[in-house]
């Protein structure tokens, strides 16, 4: 009876390639989420400023 998978030796890597790619994609997703949060916050403050400006004209 032979070894499982034909007895192939795995390369000695710290992390498999799929883990590294997944980490890079996750980091990119988090960065895009941060950018979206900042843009949404700035838009909200701009809207509040416009409303405040309109209220002062009343």
d(CA 17, CA 25): 12
pTM: 0.55
User: Mean per-residue pLDDT for 24-51?
Assistant: 91
Specify the pLDDT at position 52: 95
Between the alpha carbon of residue 48 and those of residues 35, 45, 56, 57, the distances in Å are 20, 5, 12, 14
Specify the pLDDT at position 27: 76
SS3 at position 43: helix
């Amino acid at each position: 009876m032979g070894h499982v998978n034909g007895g192939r030796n795995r390369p000695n890597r710290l992390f498999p390639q799929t883990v590294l790619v997944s980490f890079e994609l996750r980091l990119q997703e988090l960065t895009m989420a941060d950018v979206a949060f900042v843009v949404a916050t700035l838009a909200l403050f701009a809207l509040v400023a416009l409303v405040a400006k309109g209220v002062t004209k009343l």
